[in-house]
Chain A
Amino acid sequence: MAKYIFKRVLLAIATIFIVCFITFFTMNAIPGGPFAGEKAKSPEVQAALEKRFNLDKPVGQQFLIYMGNLLHGDFGVSAKTGREISDTIGSKFAVSAKLGVLAVLLAVALGVVFGSIAALQRNRWPDRLIIFLSTLFTSLPSFVLGSFLLVIFSVRLGLVQAWSPDHQNLVLPVISLAMYPAAYITRLTKTSMLDVMGQDYVRTARAKGVAQWKVLFVHTLRNALIPVVTYLGPMIASVLTGSLVVEQIFTIGGLGAEFVQSITNRDYPMIMGVTIFLAVFMVTMNLLTDIVYKVIDPRINLG
Chain B
Amino acid sequence: MAEEKNILSVVDLHTTFATDKGEVMAVNGVSFNLAAGKILGIVGESGSGKSVSAYSIMQILEKNGSIKSGQILYKGEDITKWPESRMRDFRGKCCSIIFQDPMTSLNPVFTIGFQLKEAIKLHTNRTGKEVEKRAIEMLELVGVNEPEKRIHQYPFEFSGGMRQRVMIAMALACEPDILIADEPTTALDVTIQAQILELMKDLQKKLGMAIIMVTHDLGVIAQMADEIIVMYGGRVCERGTAEDIFYRPCHEYTKGLLRSIPNIDSMGKRLEPISGTPINLLNMPKGCAFCPRCDAAMKICLEQQPPETRTVDGHLASCWKAIQAEIEAGMIHVEAPGSGT
Do A and B originate from a single complex? yes
A interface list, Cβ under 8 A from B: 199-201, 203-212, 219, 222-223, 226, 296-299
Q: Are A203 and B118 in contact (CB under 8 A)?
A: no
How far, in whole Å, are A212 and B101 apart by their CA atoms in the complex? 22
Query: Hey, which bits of chain B sit against chain A, CB under 8 A?
Result: 58, 60, 84, 88-93, 96-97, 99, 101, 104-110, 118-119, 122-123, 154, 156, 167, 170
Q: A210 and B118: CB pair below 8 A?
A: yes
Q: How far is the CA of A180 from the CA of B122 in the complex (A)?
A: 41
17 A–B contacts, CB within 8 A, in A order: A199-B104, A201-B106, A203-B105, A204-B105, A204-B106, A206-B60, A207-B60, A208-B96, A208-B119, A208-B170, A209-B88, A209-B93, A209-B123, A219-B107, A297-B108, A299-B108, A299-B156
**B173's closest neighbor in chain A, by CB?**
A208
10 tightest A-B CB contacts, nearest first: A209-B92, A209-B91, A200-B104, A201-B107, A200-B105, A208-B92, A209-B88, A298-B154, A208-B119, A204-B105
Q: Is A222 touching B60 in the complex (CB atoms < 8 A)?
A: no
Across the two chains, which residue of chain B brings its CB closest to A211? B88
Residue from the set B92, B107, B167, B170 with the largest chain A CB neighbour count within 10 Å:
B107
Q: Is the CB of B60 within 8 A of A209?
A: no
How many angstroms from the CA of A199 to the CA of B118 in the assembled complex?
19
Cross-chain contact A212 with B106 (CB below 8 angstroms): no
Assess whether A223 is in contact with B107, with CB atoms less than 8 Å apart.
yes
Q: What are the residues of chain B within 8 A of A208 when measuring CB–CB?
A: 91-92, 96, 118-119, 122, 170
Contact A201 B104, beta carbon cutoff 8 Å:
yes
List A contacts of B88 (CB < 8 A): 209-211
Do residues B154 and A205 form an inter-chain contact, with CB atoms below 8 A?
Answer: no
Q: In the assembled complex, which residues on chain B have CB atoms less than 8 Å from the CB atom of A212?
A: 84
- Report chain A residues within 8 Å CB of B92: 207-209
Cβ 8 A contact of A296, one of B89, B93, B109: B109
CB distance from B32 to the nearest CB of A (A): 20
Q: A207 touching B91 by the CB < 8 A rule? A: yes
Taking the closest CB of chain A, its distance from the CB of B87, in whole angstroms, is 8
How many A-B pairs have beta carbons closer than 8 Å: the answer is: 69
- Whether the Cβ atoms of B104 and A209 lie closer than 8 Å is no
Instruction: Label chain A's interface by main secondary structure.
Output: helix
In the assembly, what is the distance between CA of A275 and CA of B92, in Å?
58
Q: How near does chain A come to B230, taking the closest CB pair, in angstroms?
A: 25
Closest B residue to A199 by beta carbon equals B104
A297 and chain B: residue at smallest CB distance: B109
Q: How far is the CA of A89 from the CA of B77 in the complex (A)?
A: 73
**Distance from B54 Cβ to chain A, minimum over Cβ atoms (Å):** 10
Chain A, residue nearest B122 (CB): A209
Q: Which residue on chain B has the smallest CB distance to residue A220? A: B107
A295 to B327, CA, bound (A): 70
Q: A208-B118, A299-B154 are in contact. Are A223 and B109 (CB under 8 A)?
A: yes
Given contacts A210-B88, A299-B156, 17 further A-B contacts (CB under 8 A): A201-B108, A203-B99, A203-B105, A204-B167, A207-B91, A207-B99, A208-B92, A208-B96, A208-B170, A209-B90, A209-B119, A209-B123, A210-B118, A212-B84, A222-B110, A298-B156, A299-B108
A145 CB to closest chain B CB (Å) equals 35
Chain A residues within 8 Å of B122, by CB: 208-210
A272 to chain B, nearest CB (A): 43
Candidates B84, B91, B109; contact of A298 at CB < 8 Å: B109
A211 to B104, CA, bound (A): 20
Question: Shortest CB–CB separation between residue B135 and chain A, in angstroms?
Answer: 13
Q: How far is the CA of A297 from the CA of B107 in the complex (A)?
A: 11
Residue of A199, A208, A223 contacting most chain B CB atoms (<10 Å): A208
Query: Hey, which chain B residues are within 8 Å of A209, CB to CB?
Result: 88-93, 119, 122-123
Closest to A222 in B: B109
Are the CB atoms of A200 and B118 closer together than 8 Å? Answer: no
Query: B107 contacts A204, CB within 8 Å?
Result: yes
Assuming the A-B contacts A200-B99, A298-B154, A298-B156, are A207 and B58 also in contact, with contact meaning beta carbons closer than 8 angstroms in the complex?
A: yes
Chain A residues lying within 8 Å of B89, measured Cβ to Cβ, are 209
CA distance in complex: A259, B89 (Å):
61
A1 to chain B minimum Cβ distance, whole angstroms, is 16
Tell me the smallest distance from the CB of A192 to a CB of chain B, in Å. Answer: 13
B28 vs chain A, min Cβ distance (A): 23
| A299 → B minimal CB distance (Å) | 5
Which residue of chain A lies nearest to B170 when distances are taken between CB atoms in the complex?
Answer: A208
Who on chain B is nearest to A204 by CB? B105
Alpha-carbon distance A206/B119, docked complex (angstroms): 10
B113 CB, nearest partner CB in chain A, Å? 13
A248 vs B118: C-alpha distance when bound (angstroms):
52
Q: Which residues does chain A contribute within 8 Å of B91, judged by CB atoms?
A: 206-209
* Chain B min CB distance to A186 (Å): 22
Q: How far is the CA of A212 from the CA of B110 in the complex (A)?
A: 18
> Which residues of the partner chain A approach B154 to less than 8 Å between Cβ atoms?
298-299
CA distance A297 to B101 in the complex (A): 21
Task: Write out the residue numbers on chain A whose beta carbons fall within 8 Å of the beta carbon of B99.
Answer: 200, 203-204, 207
| Chain B residues positioned under 8 Å from A297 (CB to CB) | 108-109
> Which one, A205, A207, A211, A226, contacts B107 given CB within 8 A?
A205
State A56–B63 Cα separation when bound (angstroms). Answer: 75
Determine how close the nearest CB of chain B comes to the CB of A248; give it in whole angstroms: 42
